[in-house]
């Protein structure tokens, strides 16, 4: 399925079961021991309370099947560069059959648009090791841990100023 046939829309309570199915399928593809994936999976699932605190956007195929999920909220000031306010991207999950079809990039772009629309300075991601390449390909910069007590190994930042730049035309 080409990404051009993908529709993005906000998530609702009726979508939670399908959202969690996509998340589970995506997590199970990670390069981690099976036991680690199984034990950590519950912390990645969303419930009705999350709908009150997160903005969750879904990608649907032409049959309205949910094939991708992205979620974000305002970032904790301890996690971002000093003096900035940002959104924190909790994750982008894509149904494995749809990997490498630009759906993750479409969901990432939705997060960037939310950053700009809501007047934030940038976007923060705390990523799994295996997704570092994706976030680097989205022009995110690795962050060093400013506070060792609040450390996360793979943190990335993208300034809103970079999001607003249009590619040069030839």
The 10s digit of each residue's pLDDT in 109-164 is 999 999 999 999 999 999 887 888 899 999 999 987 655 555 677 889 999 998 96
pLDDT exceeds cutoff 60 at 49: yes
Backbone φ, ψ for residue 162 (5° rounding): -70, -30
Q: List all residues 6 or more positions away from 79 whose beta carbon is below 8 Å from its beta carbon.
A: 88, 124, 126, 150, 152, 155
Strand 141-143 vs strand 155-159: parallel, antiparallel, or unpaired? antiparallel
Work out the percent of the chain whose per-residue pLDDT is above 70: 89
**pLDDT for the residue 167:** 52
What secondary structure letter does DSSP report for 138?
T
Third-level CATH fold of 3-164: Aminopeptidase (3.40.630)
pLDDT exceeds cutoff 60 at 2: no
Q: What is the mean pLDDT of residues 24-42?
A: 92
**Are 124 and 80 in contact, with CB atoms under 8 Å apart?**
yes
Q: What is the mean pLDDT of residues 40-69?
A: 95
Reported as a single tens digit per residue, the pLDDT across 149-170 is 556 778 899 999 989 665 544 4
Q: What angle do CA 134, 31, 143 make, to 5 degrees?
A: 45
pTM: 0.88
Tell me how far apart the alpha carbons of residues 84 and 41 are, in angstroms, rounded to a whole number. 31
């Amino acid at each position: 399925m080409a990404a051009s046939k993908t529709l993005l829309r906000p998530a609702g309570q009726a979508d939670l079961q399908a959202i969690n199915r996509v998340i589970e399928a995506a997590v199970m593809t990670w390069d981690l021991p099976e036991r680690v994936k199984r034990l950590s999976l519950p912390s990645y699932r969303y419930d009705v309370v999350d709908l009150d605190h997160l903005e969750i956007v879904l990608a649907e195929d032409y049959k309205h099947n949910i094939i991708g999920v992205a979620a974000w909220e305002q970032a904790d000031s301890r996690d971002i560069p000093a003096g900035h306010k940002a959104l924190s991207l909790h994750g982008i999950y894509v149904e494995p059959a749809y990997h490498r079809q630009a759906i993750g990039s479409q969901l990432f772009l939705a997060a960037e648009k939310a950053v700009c629309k809501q007047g934030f300075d940038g976007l923060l991601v705390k990523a799994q090791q295996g997704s570092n390449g994706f976030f680097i390909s989205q022009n995110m910069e690795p962050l060093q841990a400013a506070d060792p007590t609040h450390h996360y190994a793979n943190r990335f930042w993208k300034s809103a100023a970079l999001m607003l730049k249009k590619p040069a035309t030839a």
